[in-house]
Amino acid sequence: MSMNSTSAQFVTSGRMGAYEPIHQMSMWGETFKSNGNLSAPAPIIVEEDVKLNDQSEDTSNGILGPSERYYQEVTTKPADKVQRRLAQNREAARKSRLRKKAYVQQLETSRLKLIQLEQELERARKQGLYVGGGGLDANPLGVSGTANSGIAAFEMEYGHWVEEQNRLICELRTALHAHISDVELRMLVDSGMSHYFDLFRMKATAAKADVFYVMSGMWKTSAERFFLWIGGFRPSELLKVLYDTNIIIDVLGPHLEPLTDQQLLDVYNLRQSCQQAEDALSQGMEKLQQTLAETVAAGQLGEGSYIPQMGTAMEKLEALVSFLNQADHLRQETLQQMSRILTTRQAARGLLAMGEYFQRLWALSSLWATRPREPA
């Protein structure tokens, strides 16, 4: 008989629910042991004793199962007292079940939260954020609580995304040093590109949950946030990195493949177009800031009432989601155009360079966060 299993959580409360007879008897015994009333080893004897001392007992201890009812008939207890006792037991049992249900639900929720926090911690450590300090200061679980399961989900997904990204970069690096076919390399390039597109999709979904969160780049490392532009990297900056360091100059690699004149022209044009598109979006954002400021400031400032302004301002904020989507769209189009201009091998090198560039930013963030500081 498992004396401890079912009653474990109820020992402290001192109450018992009416379960199957076996459990009743085991918990009965437990209660008596903890109460120190009787130390009778055989449960049946204990029950019999309790029935005799019925009036002095707490009603919750009066568990009557089929075996006890038999004894009831034998003894001379009045029927209505028995009925009342039965009803009280049922009530107590019902309440116990409800409490247990609530408790279990609480446990489940806490467990989920714990898993989420652990994953976030893992990811943060991987990226080198100073855990326990300022790195997680915008923990969405802490700040907004249950208001944003969308953001919590995004954080988890992004953690996985980073892991997958590291894996893809490794694979690319290995593939470029080995002698794999162009077909296989093309598949890797496509995977790499798709991975970025996955991120843009994730961001679009998260933006619907909380556009400010995505725009602020709180989910990125600190060094990345320094370069932030409309919730992500600046496509023109990235092109500049590739152009200056890798595609053009990397002639020392095992596969000598400099860009053709046409390719050079196309890359130049892409840099120009990208810059123009960025400027256009930036100017649009400035206009949005301006109109939002005007909307918020409209009417008499200082009177203390501002409900109408809030309504209009809320409408303006919807535009933020559009801007984020358009910026990500620009990032995607730029990547795709780059992939059209370059050969498979060049594109693979480009993706590797890009991936490693971000890894270096992550490392930089980590180094910075853990640098030795002067004692206060």
Partner 1 sequence: MQHAIPYRTWVPGWTAGEPRPPANVSGEEPIAGAGAVRAMVLENAVVVFGRRGCCMCHVLKRLLLGHGVNPPVFQVDEDGEAAVAEELSKVNTSNHVKKGGGIDINGNESSNKVQFPVVFVGGKVFGGLERVMATHISGELVPILKEAGALWL
Q: Which residues bind partner 1 (CB under 8 A)?
A: 266, 269-270, 273-274, 276-277, 279-281, 283-285, 287-288, 291, 319, 322-323, 326, 329-330, 333-334, 337, 340
For 27, 33, 230, the CA distances from 238, given in Å and listed in that order, are 68, 72, 15
Nearer to partner 1 among residue 59 and residue 291 (C-beta):
291
| Residue 268 beta carbon to partner 1: minimum distance, rounded to whole angstroms | 12
Q: What is the DSSP letter of 214?
A: H
Q: Where on the phi/psi map is residue 128: left (φ > 0), alpha (ψ -120 to 50), or beta?
A: left
Residues β-bridged to residue 229: 232
Nearer to partner 1 among residue 82 and residue 288 (C-beta):
288
| Residue 363 beta carbon to partner 1: minimum distance, rounded to whole angstroms | 31
In 3D space, the residue among 240, 192, 125, 224 whose CA is nearest the CA of residue 355 turns out to be: 192
The H or E element spanning position 160 is helix 149-177
In 3D space, the residue among 201, 208, 118 whose CA is nearest the CA of residue 156 turns out to be: 118
| Residue 279 beta carbon to partner 1: minimum distance, rounded to whole angstroms | 7
| Residue 283 beta carbon to partner 1: minimum distance, rounded to whole angstroms | 5
In 3D space, the residue among 353, 154, 128 whose CA is nearest the CA of residue 222 turns out to be: 128
**Nearest 10 degrees: Cα torsion 7, 13, 17, 21:** 40
| Residue 206 beta carbon to partner 1: minimum distance, rounded to whole angstroms | 19
| Residue 207 beta carbon to partner 1: minimum distance, rounded to whole angstroms | 15
| Residue 281 beta carbon to partner 1: minimum distance, rounded to whole angstroms | 6
Can you state the angle between helices 344-369 and 79-127, rounded to 10 degrees? 110
Q: What is the DSSP letter of 243?
A: I
Nearer to partner 1 among residue 109 and residue 269 (C-beta):
269
| Residue 275 beta carbon to partner 1: minimum distance, rounded to whole angstroms | 10
- Distance between CA 52 and CA 258 in Å, rounded? 99
Nearer to partner 1 among residue 214 and residue 361 (C-beta):
214
Nearer to partner 1 among residue 174 and residue 276 (C-beta):
276
- Distance between CA 223 and CA 127 in Å, rounded? 11
Q: Which two tokens stand for residue 9?
A: 């959580």
Q: DSSP string of 163-174? A: HHHHHHHHHHHH
Nearer to partner 1 among residue 93 and residue 347 (C-beta):
347
Nearer to partner 1 among residue 149 and residue 260 (C-beta):
260
The residues, ordered by sequence, that sit 6+ positions from 149 with a Cβ below 8 Å of its Cβ are: 209
Nearer to partner 1 among residue 2 and residue 290 (C-beta):
290
Nearer to partner 1 among residue 280 and residue 297 (C-beta):
280
The residues, ordered by sequence, that sit 6+ positions from 123 with a Cβ below 8 Å of its Cβ are: 155, 158, 159, 162, 163
| Residue 320 beta carbon to partner 1: minimum distance, rounded to whole angstroms | 10
